[in-house]
Amino acid sequence: MGLRAPIEGRGLTREGAAEPPPYDRADTVAWYRGGPQPGSPGAAVLVGHVDTDRAPAVFYELGGLKRGETVSVDRADGSTAEFTVDDVTVFGKDHFDAGRVYGPHTAGRAELRLITCGGDYDRARRQYSANVVVSAAEKKRMARIVADVPVHDVIVGDGEGQVPLKKVRTTLLKLPRVLPGAQVTVVNDRLRALGDLMSNMPIPKGPMPKGMRMPKGPLRPRK
């Protein structure tokens, strides 16, 4: 995307969705401050507008990201968290899976969600029918949490580089077993503790932005 944008902390809308920046700051990305910071264990959520009534906005090209691309987030402590894109999915607002969108896919792993509007645009209601969700993971952080343990990413789906659901068990059984029993127990306990910590952290409950409408004014032609 070649994008650099400021990030501001936001909360939830009245409907329980992650709150995006106001339309007068459509070039800004919002971080859901009720969740983990980017680079910390869990799924950090960043949301932004796809467009306004007059021009493309900060996440206009988000749907064009590809699996394997890198997303970097500058942290408040001066460090940079680098994530690798795992998946780009469109979730219809009528069938929105909040747990899958906002929750971590792997316990203890530092993950990132980039979310914007997508799908069809309803001119009468002035809102989109879906959300575009980019899922990414910071693999270096996982390596620090489970040191000397090989980490394999298995993305379930029917797309390129993904494993169909019916083949997941076979795929996992084919992975090499390199840990002795005692080390398996230690690693499981460590990940379980991190999972328990993250389970107490609230996550948004709905799509972004549920019920929000673009500001009144002439609509720009849609491409």
pLDDT of residue 178: 77
Mean pLDDT on 141-146: 56
pLDDT of residue 45: 96
Find, among 77, 75, 59, 44, the residue nearest to 5 by Cα: 59
Is the separation of the CB atoms in 80 and 70 below 8 Å?
A: no
For residue 3, give both structure tokens. 């994008």
| The CA-based dihedral angle spanning residues 128, 104, 23, 124, taken in that order and rounded to the nearest 10 degrees | 10
**CA gap 118, 178 in Å, rounded:** 43
pLDDT of residue 29: 96
> Which DSSP helix (H) or strand (E) runs through 192?
helix 181-199
Mean pLDDT on 131-153: 74
Find, among 182, 80, 185, 200, the residue nearest to 140 by Cα: 80
Mean pLDDT on 142-151: 62
**CA gap 78, 99 in Å, rounded:** 30
First to last CA, the chain: 18
**More confident: 158 or 11:** 11
**pLDDT tens digits along 87-138:** 999 999 888 888 889 988 887 788 999 999 999 988 888 889 999 999 999 8
**CA gap 181, 98 in Å, rounded:** 35
For residue 50, give both structure tokens. 């796809």
> Which DSSP helix (H) or strand (E) runs through 145?
helix 139-145
Coil, strand or helix: which one is 131?
strand
Is the separation of the CB atoms in 204 and 32 below 8 Å?
A: yes
Residue owning tokens 């859901």: 32
**More confident: 208 or 217:** 208
CATH T-level fold of 7-199:
Sortase; Chain: A; (2.40.260)
For residue 81, give both structure tokens. 């968290």
**CA gap 47, 24 in Å, rounded:** 15
pLDDT of residue 11: 93
Range among 32-36, 92-96, 139-143 with highest mean pLDDT value? 32-36
**pLDDT tens digits along 154-213:** 777 887 778 888 898 898 888 887 777 777 777 676 666 655 555 556 667 667 654 444
Domains of the chain by residue range: 7-199
By the 10 Å C-beta count (0-12 exposed, 13-18 middle, 19+ buried), 37 is classed as: middle
pLDDT of residue 193: 60
Residue 34 has pLDDT above 80, yes or no: yes
**More confident: 95 or 29:** 29
